[in-house]
Amino acid sequence: MPSPRPKRNASRRVALASVLSLLLAASAVADEEPPACSGRDLTRGLDDAAARAARADELTDAQGLLWRVSRDGLAPSYLFGTIHSTDDEAVAIARRASELAAKAQVVATELGAPMDLAEKSALGAKLFASAIDREDDTFAPALAGAEGAMVEAYLAGRGVPKELAHHLRLWFLALSAAEPPCEAARAQAGLPEVDDVIARAGVDAKVPVVGLESVDEQMSVLAAAPPPLAAALLETSARLPSLDGDSYATMLRLYAESRPAEMIAVVDALPELRPDERAAEHSFDQMLLVGRNETMASRAAPLLAKGGAFIAVGALHLPGKDGLIARFRAMGYGVDKVW
């Protein structure tokens, strides 16, 4: 059953960024609202037709953010794809969807009810503590030589000194590197995030708000990333330092156009990425998505069976043959795009 709480490239962020938001909130709150993020649109001039064809199974039902889930005799439920971001346009989309959340019988998000900055800071500290290895060099043997030095320099430029980096687990460093500094600053300033807008709408309307996952479960998924895979992601971030910001800007545009899953094909088609780097990105995204989709679907099932549920999770959990849309249809529900 859902439990009440007492996503480098943009797809990685959408796949599992609820926990990342806790990490960001653990930092000091900024005095002024930071500016919006900016970056290069990676789709401009990009031919991703072959990548779309290759990822066809993952791109079914890829256009749309809000879906109606229906069955005869039940009040309709809704499935909404979020992006773990404070971007103004993304938040405006969430406020539009939140009108339905406020009218629901129950609201389900990844982690449940909204957390204030103190709660996020406490959980962010817990996440950081789980990533510390005081005894061993976490770079060995996955990161060494020139590649290790390149990652050290990259992390130092992001405020993580060499002495600390070598005692932080690689999955933590890879996820931290996925977040552009501009979004980190906005999160630290306490700006509302899409997921929190939905959860807050439920709370304000006195609708029960439950979580489909726990923080510990999300952390376990991260910690399961093999060090060689996390090292490969870090090497890519260090080799192409502008790619994170550009990927984030591209994902925000695709989200605003209700087609965020297309970022999967964009990453595959980027000429800057080597084949092994594309494979690492895809492996990490699949690790973060598929198993969690099964968990989310099973915990959403009793909510859907009662009707009137509003379910909001990262947008990349919705499409594809293993996504929530397909899983809800397999349960016997009609799932139709609203917008």
Q: Look up residue 317 and give its two tokens.
A: 């959990």
Q: For the chain, state the CA radius of gyration.
A: 19
pLDDT of amino acid 17: 47
Calpha distance 220→255 (Å, rounded): 27
Residue 140 lies in a domain: no
Cα 254 to Cα 65: distance, rounded to the nearest angstrom: 11
Q: Is 314 helix (H, G, I), strand (E, B) or coil?
A: strand
pLDDT score, position 202: 98
Check residue 5 and give its pLDDT. Answer: 37
Q: Rounded to two decimals, what is the model's pTM?
A: 0.91
CB 257 within 8 A of CB 42: no
Measured between its terminal Cα atoms, the distance across the chain in Å is 29
Which residue's structure tokens are 């000194």?
A: 161
pLDDT of 20:
56
Both tokens of 255, joined, read 């989200």
Does 141 reside within a domain?
no
Beta bridge partners of 337: 67
Q: Tokens 């088609």 appear where?
A: 269
Residue 335: pLDDT above 90? yes
Residue 70 maps to a domain: yes
What whole-number percentage of the chain has pLDDT above 90? 73
pLDDT tier at 33 (50, 70, 90 boundaries)? low
Q: For 42-59, what is each residue's pLDDT tens digit? A: 999 999 999 999 999 999
Distance separating alpha carbons of residues 295 and 306, to the nearest angstrom: 19
With CA atoms as reference, report the closest residue to 18 among 5, 31, 6, 28: 5
Tokens of 209: 């708000």
What pLDDT score does 184 carry? 83
Residue 193's φ and ψ, nearest 5 degrees, are -105, 155
**Structure confidence at residue 108 (pLDDT):** 99
Q: Give 236-255 pLDDT, tens digit per residue.
A: 999 999 998 899 999 999 99
Output the DSSP codes for 61-119. T-S-SEEEEE-TTS--EEEEEE-S---HHHHHHHHHHHHHHTTSSEEEESS-S---HHH
Structural domain span for residue 206: 10-32+39-135+168-337
Contact 69, 77 (CB under 8 A): yes
Computed over every residue of the chain, the mean pLDDT equals 90
Read off the pLDDT band of 34 (50, 70, 90). Answer: confident
Helix then strand then coil, in percent of the chain rounded to 5, is 55, 10, 35
CA distance 103 to 285: 33
Please report the pLDDT score of residue 300 as a whole number.
99
In the chain, the number of structural domains is 1
pLDDT at 333: 99
119's tokens? 């709660």
Residue listed under structure tokens 């510990």: 216
Per-residue pLDDT tens over the stretch 68-120: 999 999 999 999 999 989 999 999 999 999 999 999 999 999 999 998 878 87
The answer as to whether 157 is a domain residue is: no
Cβ–Cβ under 8 Å, residues 66 and 339: yes
The count of other CB atoms within 10 Å of the CB of residue 205 is: 15
With a cut of 50, say whether residue 30 has pLDDT above it: no
Which tens digit of pLDDT belongs to each residue from 148-177? Answer: 999 999 999 999 999 999 999 999 999 888
**179-189 average pLDDT score:** 85
Whether omega before 141 lies within 30 degrees of 0, making that bond cis, reads: yes
